[in-house]
Amino acid sequence: MRIYQKLLSGNFSNEFDSIIDSQEKAFCKRLVLTALRKHQFLRSAINNYTSKSLPQKLSFSHLCIFLGATEILFFSTPEYAAVNSYVAFAKKDNKFSGGFVNAILRKICQNKDTIKQQQNIFFPKSFRQLLQKDYTKTQIDNIESACTQEPPLDITVKNNAEEWAKKLEGQLMPNGSIRLFSAGNIPDILGYEQGQWWVQDFSSSLAIQSLNNIKDKKVLELCAAPGGKTAQLTNEGAKVTSVEISPARIKTMQQNLQRLNFEPEKIICEDAIAFLQTDSSVYDIITIDAPCSATGTLRRHPEIVHTRTTKDIAQNQTIQKNMLETAASHVADGGTLLYSVCSLSKAEGEEQIRFFLKNHQNFKILPITFSKLSKKSQDELKILTTEEGFIRCLPYHFAQFGGIDGFFVAQLQKEIL
Ligand SMILES: C[S@@+](CC[C@H](N)C(=O)[O-])C[C@H]1O[C@@H](n2cnc3c(N)ncnc32)[C@H](O)[C@@H]1O
């Protein structure tokens, strides 16, 4: 209940990690994420059975009703067990609210079939408005319906992707990622403990895959944790210096890299801009996986639709602009600046890069073609590249495989003087 309340009010919660029992953790995660994905749907359904319309800020007993209704409508929990346990929760908080919770949940049980037939709304009006600047109504409808489903798990393997896809009974994606549809507890999956693969969303893996000739290149990776791209770069033989601001996320990254038996040249815990201001080196490649509004990750973080505002986008834009600006002078002549964000907002992606290029005429776009992948893969991935030469992934791309995260990548080359 606490995690649900925190996420819904826009606060970060990592409390799932404090649940020791893996089955209990998986259940809690699925319950809270389903309730968040179905929040608008549940609000409209529950409103039919309350005497007053639900307020914007929900009370504890309302939250008990939302979670109880989620279990009744979308889980196999027996109805009586769901009703009894959420009535007991509500009573613990306030002994008078048990009756209210009981009455509404019973009505939900009685009308279960009718409720399930109602239209599934995921995006609140405010989130639709946020997307309207960049996308048509049809595109927003498609993004919404692609994000209502529980996402599969994507992994990147060190090598032999085809073989691993067979072993794990997964779907081999056009870029070599392996997609698992019913993964269960991650550490229990074959090859995890042996460090043969790491968890990395399909879209996110495309940024490093778009780079050619990485072997032995001097790479500076800014905003590195939890290390998915560090792992890719190291796996391809680059000499990587990784910079990340968060000590907690550095710790996770080090654990991940240790399991994979990868050793980047350096891992530095510092603000990227502060690091660049005191660093006198130039690099063959600088990657910036910039902090952003993360609206591309809606499938995994459904709370985002209730919490992101244009103010968040504007704040991130300023940080991204400063990182690009500061990194530019550290790219060697003829070198590459790779910029990526997991945002749907073009202000953080396409527009950010157009603005950068206007002020840095010594950089030009290197159109992304995935030339190091097979011809078949290149053809299949074409749908993700834009006329300008960027990667723009949208959640409804590859819907036949369960969709992908929203993501943006630009590759820029510095001219040789
Ligand atoms: C999108 S995540 C990076 C994901 C990572 N590149 C990967 O592939 O696994 C963005 C990261 O940037 C870090 N970050 C945010 N602001 C930063 C800053 N000013 N300097 C360095 N890192 C920063 C965040 O802590 C977060 O770990």
The stretch 3-21 carries a mean pLDDT of 65
CA of 222 to the centre of ligand 1 (A): 7
SS3 of 325, please? Answer: helix
- Which fold, 200-414? Rossmann fold (3.40.50)
Q: Does the bond joining 174 to the residue before it have cis omega, within 30 degrees of 0?
A: no
Sign of the CA dihedral running 383, 157, 147, 113: positive
pLDDT digits (tens, 9 = 90+) for 373-393: 999 999 999 999 999 999 999
**Residue 149 token pair:** 């489903």
d(CA 202, CA 212): 18
d(CA 272, CA 287): 11
The pLDDT score that the predictor gives to residue 18 is 66
Atom number, ligand 1, closest to the C-alpha of residue 249: 27
pLDDT digits (tens, 9 = 90+) for 253-293: 999 999 999 998 999 999 999 999 999 999 999 999 999 99
The pLDDT score that the predictor gives to residue 14 is 63
d(CA 122, CA 124): 7
CATH superfamily for 2-116 is NusB-like (1.10.940.10)
CA of 20 to the centre of ligand 1 (A): 27
Q: Which runs of consecutive H residues, i.e. helices, occur in 38-147?
A: 39-47, 60-74, 79-93, 98-110, 112-116, 125-132, 137-147
Domain boundaries, given as residue ranges, for the chain: 2-116, 200-414
CA of 45 to the centre of ligand 1 (A): 39
The stretch 151-174 carries a mean pLDDT of 96
Quickly list DSSP for 343-363: -S-TTTTHHHHHHHHHH-TTE
For 133, other C-beta atoms within 10 Å of its C-beta total 11
Q: Are 221 and 359 in contact (CB under 8 A)?
A: no
Q: Residue 10: which residues within 8 A CB-CB, separation 6 or more?
A: 303, 306, 307
d(CA 250, CA 103): 48
d(CA 411, CA 368): 7
- Report for 27-41, 81-95, 284-298: range of highest mean pLDDT: 284-298
The stretch 144-153 carries a mean pLDDT of 91
Q: Which of 206, 209, 223 to mutate to test the pocket of ligand 1 (most atoms within 8 A of CB)?
A: 223
CA of 297 to the centre of ligand 1 (A): 15
Q: How far is CA 278 from CA 265, 272, 274, in A?
A: 18, 10, 7
The pLDDT score that the predictor gives to residue 95 is 83
Quickly list DSSP for 174-238: TTS-EEESS--SGGGSTTTTTT-EEE--HHHHHHHHT----TT-EEEEES-TT-HHHHHHHHTT-
Average pLDDT, the chain: 93
pLDDT digits (tens, 9 = 90+) for 292-312: 999 999 999 999 998 899 999
Q: Which of 202, 242, 244 to mutate to test the pocket of ligand 1 (most atoms within 8 A of CB)?
A: 244
222, β-bridge pairs = 243, 288
- Say which range, 48-57, 316-325, 400-409, has the weakest mean pLDDT: 48-57
Q: The pTM is what?
A: 0.91
pLDDT at 94 over 90: no
Binning pLDDT at 50, 70 and 90, where does residue 182 land?
confident
- Ligand 1 pocket residues where CB is under 6 Å: 204, 223-229, 243-246, 249, 271-272, 289, 291, 342
CA of 329 to the centre of ligand 1 (A): 20
Q: Name which of 213, 207, 354 is nearest 231 in CA terms.
A: 207
Binning pLDDT at 50, 70 and 90, where does residue 178 land?
very high
**Residue 273 token pair:** 């801009």
pLDDT digits (tens, 9 = 90+) for 108-131: 999 999 998 888 889 999 999 999
Provide, rounded to the nearest whole percent, the portion of the chain with pLDDT above 70: 95
Q: Name which of 136, 134, 131, 115 is nearest 38 in CA terms.
A: 115
pLDDT at 398 over 90: yes
Q: Which runs of consecutive H residues, i.e. helices, occur in 242-309?
A: 247-260, 272-278, 304-307
CA of 227 to the centre of ligand 1 (A): 9
- Say which range, 15-29, 66-80, 364-378, has the weakest mean pLDDT: 15-29
For ligand 1, atom 16, name the residue with the nearest CA.
291
